[in-house]
Amino acid sequence: MNNNEQLLMKNKIFDELLKTKSAAKTSNDNQIKIRCKFCGDSRNQDHSHMYVGVMNTQQFMIGYHCKKCQSSGVVSKDFLEMYDIKNVELNVFLKKNRISTIIKKNINSNTLVNNYNIPDEILQEDKFKIDYLSSRFNRKITKDDLKQYKIVLNLNQFLKFNNINLYRDTNTNKMELKTLVEEYTKTCVGFLSFDNNIIQFRNINSNVIRYKYSNLQINKDFKNPLLYVVKKNIDLISRKPKIIIAEGIFDIIGVKERFCLDDDVDSVLCSPCGKSFKVALNQIIKMTGFVDSDVFLYVDKDTNRDIDKGFFNNHMSQFIPNFNITIVYNDKGKDFGEMSEEIDIKTYKL
Ligand SMILES: [Zn+2]
């Protein structure tokens, strides 16, 4: 789909909507206003408060927003039907414009993404890592799981498989980097970030690497934030979009395995890998256009601060007016990252 086709379709959608009662052009070519079908709009039948326009997202999308009742979303077949617009061509376009996965979309958008894949083979030396993961997941981990969750079982194997030369343009001492790569390969399992550019390693049995988690960046030119996104189908014109963010990668996998149905296409699941929830939410909105979603933050119960409402009210303040944000924590344990652990869900709203 090229820009011309998008422009043509945008104009066709506008033309159809402009035929409805009290619809009007605005001073902005990319925006019109119509009467809102959700709240019935003003009593004065000549006024209209529902703005329909091209959204400020990487993916081309036409959104709506009522200034009166705050209803908002992405224009879809259902939306057009509310205005008695039954145009097959527009419906086909709107469906085609819906891209099934974030991953696919990123490749077509401005976000830089590496085209790397997870190797098929499980090496003998990595059997203990499979055992480790199987115990965390509380089930036998398969090759399919490695691909689904973008798990780098063996760093050396991954680098060779994808022809990555880490040593080409690095400021780090080459010997040091080589030692580090060997150590990650021998003792850690990694998870690939959404842009396939940062691997977050979980230390299983290294004494050399002091940290439990450490990150390896592949391409130094990328400026994307560290963000892990669970690979799944997402309906970008969902009427009930959900953004689910958990503190760590094992937590978000735990949330997916426990609570997410296989055919769920309404939710995006991600983790900022211990970093900022705010940055993660911003990046997801940028990629999906989910400006009207319910947001769930699965937080750790490490310290009192972690589940403190004041802290999250402050941290998420820019989103609170427009998003329905729920904090979720496990009252029985620290988090959601251990599938064998019992959980007792507690929630509160911001
Ligand atoms: Zn309204």
Express each pLDDT in 224-274 by its tens digit. Answer: 899 999 998 888 777 889 999 999 999 999 999 999 888 888 999 999 998
Q: From CA 11, how far away is CA 275, in angstroms rounded?
A: 42
| Burial of residue 145 (number of CB atoms within 10 Å: 0-12, 13-18, 19+) | middle
CA of 54 to the centre of ligand 1 (A): 19
CA of 166 to the centre of ligand 1 (A): 54
Model-wide pTM > 0.75: no
Going from N- to C-terminal start, the domains of the chain cover 3-101, 124-217, 228-349
- Return the percentage of the chain with pLDDT > 70, whole number: 92
Which CATH number among 3.40.1360, 3.30.70, 1.25.40, 1.10.260 corresponds to the domain 228-349?
Answer: 3.40.1360
Q: From CA 207, how far away is CA 167, in angstroms rounded?
A: 24
pLDDT in tens, 291-326: 888 999 999 887 655 678 888 899 999 999 889 999
CA of 164 to the centre of ligand 1 (A): 52
pLDDT at 100 over 60: no
CATH architecture observed for domain 3-101: Alpha-Beta Complex (3.90)
CA of 267 to the centre of ligand 1 (A): 25
pLDDT in tens, 109-159: 456 778 899 999 999 999 999 999 999 999 999 999 999 999 999 999 999
Question: pLDDT tier at 75 (50, 70, 90 boundaries)?
Answer: confident
Neighbours of ion ligand 1 (CB under 5 A): 36, 38-39, 66, 68-69
Q: From CA 75, how far away is CA 94, in angstroms rounded?
A: 8
pLDDT at 345 over 50: yes
pLDDT in tens, 15-30: 999 999 999 999 988 9
Please give the full DSSP string across 26-93, using - where no structure is assigned.
-SSTTEEEE--TTT---SSTT---EEEEE-SSSS--EEEEETTT--EEE--HHHHHHTT---HHHHHH
